[in-house]
């Protein structure tokens, strides 16, 4: 069974309360004013990338689709809202029948994005769309931040696999989402069994220092592990003395030992010494896995080291210093009446301090240079220029309230690898810099 395709809800009865109080008070006021049914268009975008980042990664789309499907105001939820006098009875009656019936378009999950990119577009009545703001943003902001960090780490690691192992460094449910986002960004496996169960991500793990300390000596610990898991297991060799542990590991498992793990010390120096020792002991095929507070910079610094795989925890699940993408959900167009045929009117907030936005329902396309690499993110309203017609980025995700674009996670992961490879080479640089391609706005005509 491929649980990634089942659209399973999060581990709560409903996602309807994954929202802010003012979403419901706006709904109540709009119902009273007669404006709740006006056709509206909301867009998710970010005004800037986190400092120093060259591109963003769209992640969490599949989780958004699950959340929208599970956005239901059941009796317990309605009882809570009534008990705390959040909204009036008329609004509660409206919420009891809530089902999102609109359309959602968005960048395919795994795609890259840039400042201003309309990452997701939600269309329907004002009432049904405004309620989804917080849950959509909470998922996309978290998952995209983790995926962006994972992508940078995957670039730094090259062909060497990455293991996600940050579950103990974050909230237990966030850990599952982080594993999923890390897999999208290029990680190969996770230590989190919940992520493996929920999303089908391959899981790995052998032992911690506690297992070695449990036994009377290191040899007994290694022997117990090999007896249970076989010679291809990974033995942790830095509990006491690394050199002695490597010697004992090969004596116990033989040259068929699968791998050793180093979790402390000067990883560059220790990895070279361990590789030399393994080769001298005849364990030429035994791999070296390193862990210990790695981030993309530490991984890059180990590029010349004889390391075969990396395990990453804290820095990954916290977005490597950028735990959010600062995405926003803004109304960009709305009808002047509840008439379904009423044309859309562009709307936009006017503000100082860099918080301005551009009105109108937008399309996005990526222009390529003569060698097939991304050259610019082009965003506009109205008709799409013919030369960009086959380069459009938004795809239909929900049609008339029904999800139409759920896909396996491996497809998303492969898409990201292709999207990253199609960026200019400077996208993989870890030094601080601006977005790797510019965003160009084409203000043609605001359409309905």
What pLDDT does residue 10 have? 40
The tokens describing 343, both together, are 């044309």
pLDDT, one tens digit per residue, over 42-95 is 999 999 999 989 999 999 999 999 999 999 999 999 999 999 999 999 999 999
The count of residues in the chain is 448
| Alpha helices by DSSP H, 133-216 | 133-157, 172-185, 193-199, 209-214
CA atoms within 13 A on the CB side of 28: 15
220-233, pLDDT tens digit by residue? Answer: 999 999 999 999 99
- Compute the C-alpha angle 291/281/310, nearest 5°: 15
- Give pLDDT tens digits for 304-363: 999 999 999 999 999 999 999 999 999 999 999 999 899 999 999 887 666 777 899 999
Q: Is 350 exposed, middle or buried (0-12, 13-18, 19+ CB in 10 A)?
A: exposed
pLDDT over 60 at 152, yes or no: yes
Asked if pLDDT for residue 4 goes beyond 80, the answer is no
Q: What confidence tens digit (pLDDT) does each residue in 262-288 have?
A: 999 999 999 999 999 999 999 999 999
Rg (CA), the chain: 25
Q: Which two tokens stand for residue 319?
A: 């977005």
pLDDT of 11 above 80: no
What pLDDT sits at residue 8?
46
Residue 3 reports pLDDT greater than 50: no
Q: Please tell me the distance from the alpha carbon of residue 200 to that of residue 211, in angstroms, as a whole number.
A: 27
Sole residue written with tokens 């359409």: 447
H-assigned helices in 55-97? 61-69, 75-83, 89-96
Query: What pLDDT band is residue 12 in, cutting at 50, 70 and 90?
Result: low
CA–CA separation, 207 and 215 (whole Å): 13
Residue whose tokens read 């222009």: 367
Are the beta carbons of 343 and 448 closer than 8 angstroms?
A: yes
Mean of the per-residue pLDDT values of the chain: 94
What pLDDT, on the 0 to 100 scale, is given for residue 447?
43
Which pLDDT band holds residue 2 (cuts at 50, 70, 90)? very low
Helix axes 267-280, 242-253, angle to 10 degrees: 40
Report whether pLDDT(175) > 80: yes
CB hemisphere CA count around 293 (13 angstroms): 4
Across the range 429-433, mean pLDDT stands at 88
From first CA to last CA, the distance across the chain in angstroms is: 42
From the list 422, 430, 415, 445, the residue with the least C-alpha distance to 107 is 415
Strands in 28-134 per DSSP E: 39-45, 56-57, 103-106, 112-113, 120-125
**pLDDT tens figures, 394-426:** 999 999 999 999 999 999 999 999 999 999 999
Cα–Cα distance, 194 to 172 (Å, whole number): 9
Rounded Cα–Cα distance for residues 10 and 231 (Å): 39
At 362 the three-state DSSP class reads strand
Can you tell me the distance from the alpha carbon of 379 to that of 365, in angstroms, rounded to the nearest whole number? 7
Per-residue model confidence as pLDDT tens digits over 196-221:
999 999 999 999 999 999 999 999 99
Nearest-angstrom CA–CA distance, 113 and 377: 8
> From the CB of residue 448, how many other CB atoms can be counted at a distance below 10 Å?
12
Residue 19 corresponds to which tokens in the numbers above? 């929202």
Q: How high is the pLDDT of residue 14?
A: 82
Nearest to 144, CA basis, from 261, 210, 62:
62
Identify whether the C-beta of residue 208 lies closer than 8 Å to the C-beta of residue 263. no
Distances (CA, A) of 292 to 29, 283, 441, 447: 53, 24, 44, 53
Pick the closest to residue 340 from 75, 30, 102, 153 (CA basis). 102
278 vs 13, residue with greater confidence: 278
| pLDDT tens readout for residues 243-252 | 999 999 999 9
Mean pLDDT, residues 293-302 taken together: 97
């Amino acid at each position: 069974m491929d649980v990634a395709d089942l659209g399973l809800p999060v581990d709560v009865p409903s996602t309807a309360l994954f929202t802010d109080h003012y979403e419901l008070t706006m709904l109540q006021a709009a119902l009273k004013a007669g404006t709740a049914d006006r056709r509206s268009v909301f867009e998710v975008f970010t005004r800037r990338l986190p400092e120093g980042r060259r591109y963003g990664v769209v992640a969490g789309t599949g989780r958004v689709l699950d959340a929208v499907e599970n956005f239901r105001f059941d009796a317990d939820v309605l009882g809570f809202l009534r008990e705390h006098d959040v909204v009036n009875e008329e609004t509660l009656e409206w919420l009891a029948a809530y089902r999102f019936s609109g359309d959602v378009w968005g960048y395919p999950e795994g795609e890259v994005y840039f400042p201003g990119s309309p990452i997701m577009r939600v269309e329907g009545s004002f009432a049904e769309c405004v309620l989804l703001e917080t849950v959509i943003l909470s998922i996309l902001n978290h998952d995209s931040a983790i995926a962006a960090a994972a992508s940078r780490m995957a670039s730094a690691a090259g062909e060497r696999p990455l293991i996600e192992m940050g579950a103990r460094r974050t909230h237990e449910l966030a850990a599952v989402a982080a594993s999923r986002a890390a897999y999208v960004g290029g990680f190969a496996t996770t230590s989190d069994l919940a992520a493996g169960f929920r999303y089908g991500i391959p899981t790995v793990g052998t032992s911690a220092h506690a297992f070695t300390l449990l036994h009377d000596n290191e040899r007994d610990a290694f022997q117990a592990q090999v007896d249970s898991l076989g010679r291809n297991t990974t033995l942790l060799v830095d509990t006491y003395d690394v050199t002695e542990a490597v010697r004992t590991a090969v004596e116990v498992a033989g040259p068929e030992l699968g791998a050793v793990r180093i979790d402390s010390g000067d990883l560059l120096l220790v990895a070279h010494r361990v590789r030399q020792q393994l080769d001298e002991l005849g364990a030429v095929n035994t791999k070296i896995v390193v862990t210990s507070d790695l981030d993309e910079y530490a991984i890059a610094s180990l590029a010349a080291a004889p390391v075969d795989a990396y395990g990453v925890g804290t820095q990954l699940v916290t977005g490597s210093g950028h735990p959010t993408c600062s995405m926003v959900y803004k109304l960009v167009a709305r009808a002047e009446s509840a008439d379904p045929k009423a044309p859309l009117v562009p709307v936009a907030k006017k503000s100082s301090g860099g918080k301005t936005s551009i009105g109108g329902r937008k399309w996005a396309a990526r222009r390529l240079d003569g060698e097939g690499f991304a050259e610019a993110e082009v965003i506009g309203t109205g008709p799409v220029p013919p030369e960009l017609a086959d380069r459009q980025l938004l795809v239909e995700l929900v049609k008339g309230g029904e999800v139409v674009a759920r896909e396996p996670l491996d497809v998303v992961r492969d898409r990201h690898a292709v999207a990253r490879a199609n960026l200019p080479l400077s996208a993989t640089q870890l030094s601080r810099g601006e977005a790797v391609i510019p965003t160009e706005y084409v203000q043609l005509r605001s359409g309905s």
